[in-house]
Amino acid sequence: MGLVHAATLSPSKRELVEAWLPTRPWAQGRVIADKVAEYRLDDPAGEVGIETILWRTEDAELLQTPLTYRSAPLEGGERFLISTAEHSVLGRRWVYDACGDPVWVATLVEAIVTGGRQSQMVIEIDGAMVDVPPRMEVSGSGTAGASVPAFATIDSVSDGPVTQIVAGPVTLALARVVGSPVDGSATLTGTVGDDPTVHTLATLR
């Protein structure tokens, strides 16, 4: 479960991503038209915010940008830093391309292997915690209680329309451009709103 703050982020998430995308080879020539949906996973330690946002481009493609939000810089993560931003409740946040953040990798691996789903988000209203309806549903293809591979660090990240992340015994493939062919039988899939289309978001091997 994750808490949504009634807060502002400056620059906004869209502003951060729009400034970062032109530096990515897989995003060249692609311009964001609007935000489609997002899904979150939980950091077991409760320290790192984890959110993946889907954007629709002017050419009607879907881009997937996983982000992590930290209260301090990620050691060794300079290559993956998108920017810093000021959160009106939490203060300064270091915003990272999550493909280079071991916490994101660990949560995504666990979700795929154990059949996990997106975190239920809540917001505090007049002292009560109220569920925030998800704008998309995601699920891993594995089964609850399955053994999750362990790793200490990320070994490599090969960026592209499908980004490959090697971490110890596992390789994750993330569809930056949703719909790009993604190899692997263990999957994270998702649907957006009432649209029955099932998107393959990431695979694990």
CA-CA-CA-CA torsion sign (143, 148, 153, 155): negative
pLDDT at 1: 45
Helix (H) or strand (E) holding 136: strand 136-140
pLDDT at 57: 97
Tokens, residue 53: 């946002």
Whether 65 and 52 have beta carbons less than 8 Å apart is answered as: yes
Q: How far is CA 67 from CA 102, 145, 196, in A?
A: 12, 27, 25
Q: Helix (H, G, I), strand (E, B), or coil: what is residue 185?
A: coil
Distance between CA atoms of 126 and 83, rounded to whole angstroms? 33
List b or e across 30-46, with b for residues whose CB sees 16 or more CB atoms inside 10 angstroms.
bebeeebbbbbbbbeee
Distance between CA atoms of 49 and 40, rounded to whole angstroms? 8
Claim: this prediction has a pTM higher than 0.85: yes
Divide the 205 residues of the chain into consecutive groups of 10 and give the mean pLDDT of each group. 64 96 93 95 92 96 97 96 91 95 96 93 67 87 95 93 96 97 94 95 97
pLDDT at 69: 96
